[in-house]
Structure formats: structure tokens, C-alpha cells
Amino acid sequence: MNWETAVQFLTDVSVALMEPELDRALERLREVAAGQKWLSYLCMRGQGTGGSSVEVRAGVEPASGALSSDGGDSRVELTGTREGVSVSMVARLDLQSGGGSPGGDAVVREVLGEALRLFARRLAVHGAALRARERELADAVGALSHDFRTPLACIKGYLSLLSQGKYPPGSPEWEEYLGTVMEECERLEKLVSVVLESAAGPKIHLSIEPVLLPPLIKRILLEESAISRGHRFFTDISEEAREIYADPTRLEQVLRNLLDNAIKYSPEGSLIVLRVKKTKDAFLFSVADQGGGIAPEHLNRLFERHYRVEDGDSGKVRGTGLGLLIARQIVNAHGGDIWAESVVGRGSTFYFTIPFYNTPSGGDAE
């Protein structure tokens, strides 16, 4: 299954969810999940017992692991690697009914359907990014094999000449051919370091353009509130920070990762505050929550690959430990910094900066 079919499938399911036959949609979700190695991520919960509620987590996250299903009626977990790109999907649809009003269930179904559509849309965005990356990788491998082949052919040719014994050691040809072989070996050595450097982490390509923050943030918060557990959101975008220069898709990814975490790691119904203001040389973003907070020994390590705080309440929350790493890579690619401050028991605030010099003209953003 490729990304197009995955997106189509999710769109189909979202349509199916609007129908009364929710079970059939789930069955299909399970069938498809059971036979596939591709992965994406979705985790949803709905409750149809009069006081209807819904919980959805959606996104595409790198992960590795195996297919598992908890055997429940409405849960599919799927993680794995596809052609070098690791992605994971956790689909959980947990519609509890009984005792509640039928009207409540209808609301839950509707919200789940909406959430699935939202997920399909997000998957389409991530899928496009992944496909572009796959193409980039294929091009890079093609170019690389060409770059390696030339010096290798050259080395082989000269060594074969030398091995014929026609040119005795010390003869001008012997010296010249051996010199060329050495040069080509050095070229290969340089190529290997280039490959190693690029393997250290994906290079983030930015497409910088003017971004109007209020509508972008409004849309993000609308979608995030669908996955929150009754959290209240407050935004404060200062007048002089309404428009900035940045890569809008990447900026959205950073904000979503921070908001997803604020939601995941703070109690239901608590307050999440997103602020943007202008400082001397950058726009300063902050996302503050009223969660359990993060102990000082973890604070500097949160942005490392796969780093997770396993003790306390946050250990119970599912995750891959990659969201903050990705956020840091994107912010750094913009020339900014990202960091966290926290008081255990009170909450955490994540800050990041987007410097002014992202303007296409290289000047101030205003």
C-alpha cells in the first residue's frame, strides 16, 4: 500500500463513519491494518454515554516495532518501517455506548468522522513530504553511486595496468599511475565523509514566505481542540508579531508538536497559553501548560532523539520521543533556538525563536 491508497482508505473510512455501520468501518480498518507494513498514526477515543466525549490523536511519527492488536473491538496498533522511512500508526476507536442517549452516540460518531477527515488531511500533507523525501533519497543514491563508480573504475584500471608488470617499480609510468590511484582513493575518502555527514540527520529544506500568524494559529488551535481533553486555549499574539517570515508548513509542525505535548502532558480541562511577541532580533513563541512539569535533570535532554521521561505520570503517556527533536531541527533550520522551562507540579513552558533574518531580502521582517 502506498501513501495515496492509505489516504484514500482513511478518507473512505471517514465517510463510512458517518454511516450507522461504524462496526463495518472498524472491521475494514482492522483488515487493512492486519495486512500492511506501511504506517501512519492515529489514536482516537469516543464515548457515547450521554455525556459524549471524544479524544483523538493524529499525526505521522517515525517509529519502529511490530504489528499488534489488543484484541479489543476497536483498536488497531501498527508500527514499522517502510522503505527506510519509519512511520507508525495507532488507530484506536473506542466507542462505548449503553445507558447513554442515542443522540449522544450520533454526536460522537460525527466528531469521530470529522476527526478522521482531519487525520486524512494531515496524512496527505505528511505523505507528500515523505514522498518528496523518498524521491530526494533516490536521486541522492543515484548521484552517489555515479560519484563512486568513476574513481573506482579509475583505480581498477590503473592497478590492472600496474599488475601486468610492464612498468617496473620506479619507472615514470609506475610513479604516475600509482599517484593517480592515491588521488582517487582520497576522492573516495572525501565522498565517504560526505555520506556520513548527510546520514547524521535529514537536511531540512525551508520555503520561506510571509506568514500571517492569527489565521494560522486559529486553524491549528481549532484542530488541536478536537484532540484535547476539554483543555482551554488562550492566545496572545502581539500586534507587531502578526506577520513573520518562515516556512509555514514547518512552523505549523513545530507549533503542533508543542501543543500536542501540552495536551498530552497536562490534565483535562487545564489552560494552555500560546504567546508570540517580538524581541530585539527574533519572534519569540511560547506554549505554556499547567501539567505535572519536568524535573531539571530532564530539561536539557528532551530534544534528544527518542528521549522520554519515563517516571511519573508522563511515563504513562504514549509517545516516540521524536516530536521535540523534529521541532528543534526545524527551529534550528530557521536559525532559531528552542528550550523549555518548567516547575514540577506547576507546568512547563516551551519557547522557540524565529529570527528576523528569514526575510527573503535578508532584512527585518517588517
Regarding 261 and contact with ligand ADP (CB under 6 A), the answer is yes
- Tell me the chain's radius of gyration from C-alpha atoms: 26
DSSP category for residue 157: H
Choose one: 123-131, 132-140, 158-166, 304-312; the region binding ligand ADP (CB under 6 A): 304-312
Give the integer Cα–Cα distance in Å for 216 and 177: 62
Question: Could you give the C-alpha distances from 191 to 134, 144, 177, 182, 201, in angstroms and in order?
Answer: 21, 8, 21, 14, 17
Per-residue binding string, ligand ADP, 207-246, x by CB under 6 A, is ----------------------------------------
Q: Looking only at residues 331 through 350 of this chain, which bind ligand ADP when binding is defined by CB under 6 A?
A: 348
C-alpha distance across the termini of the chain, in Å: 46
In the list 123, 246, 254, 262, the residue contacting ligand ADP (rule: CB under 6 A) is: 262
Choose one: 8-16, 36-44, 135-143, 258-266; the region binding ligand ADP (CB under 6 A): 258-266
In the list 322, 338, 354, 365, the residue contacting ligand ADP (rule: CB under 6 A) is: 322
What b/e readout covers 67-94, taking b as 16+ CB neighbours within 10 angstroms? beeeeeebbbbbbbbbeebbbbbbbbbb
Q: Of the two residues 13 and 309, which places its CB atom closer to ligand ADP in the complex?
A: 309
Q: Of the two residues 104 and 323, which places its CB atom closer to ligand ADP in the complex?
A: 323
- Residue number with the shortest CB distance to ligand ADP? 319
Give the integer Cα–Cα distance in Å for 355 and 245: 9
Regarding 252 and contact with ligand ADP (CB under 6 A), the answer is no
Q: Of the two residues 286 and 359, which places its CB atom closer to ligand ADP in the complex?
A: 286
CB of 106 to ligand ADP, least distance (A): 33
Q: Determine the size of the site formed for ligand ADP (CB under 6 A).
A: 20
Regarding 324 and contact with ligand ADP (CB under 6 A), the answer is yes
Per-residue binding string, ligand ADP, 347-366, x by CB under 6 A, is -x------------------
In the list 74, 88, 320, 358, the residue contacting ligand ADP (rule: CB under 6 A) is: 320
Choose one: 11-19, 128-136, 192-200, 305-313; the region binding ligand ADP (CB under 6 A): 305-313
CB of 221 to ligand ADP, least distance (A): 16
Q: What are the φ/ψ torsions at residue 249 (nearest 5 degrees)? A: -65, -40
In the list 321, 335, 337, 357, the residue contacting ligand ADP (rule: CB under 6 A) is: 321
Place of cell 507508525: 88
Regarding 288 and contact with ligand ADP (CB under 6 A), the answer is no
41-44 LR contacts (CB < 8 Å, sep 24+): 41/87, 41/88, 41/89, 41/90, 42/10, 42/89, 42/90, 42/91, 42/92, 42/116, 42/119, 43/90, 43/91, 43/92, 43/318, 44/91, 44/92, 44/93, 44/94, 44/112, 44/115, 44/116
In the list 308, 337, 357, 359, the residue contacting ligand ADP (rule: CB under 6 A) is: 308
In the list 46, 323, 336, 355, the residue contacting ligand ADP (rule: CB under 6 A) is: 323
- Which of 321, 250, 332, 234 minimizes the C-alpha distance to 286? 234
- Write out the three cell numbers for 254: 513545530
- Write out the three cell numbers for 78: 501498527
8 A C-beta contact, residue 340 and residue 237: no
CB of 283 to ligand ADP, least distance (A): 21
Q: In sequence order, which residues have a C-beta less than 8 Å from that of residue 31 and are 6 or more positions away? A: none
Q: Looking only at residues 47 through 66 of this chain, which bind ligand ADP when binding is defined by CB under 6 A?
A: none
Given the rule CB under 6 A, which residues bind ligand ADP? Answer: 257, 261-262, 265, 289, 291, 294, 302, 307-309, 314, 319-325, 348
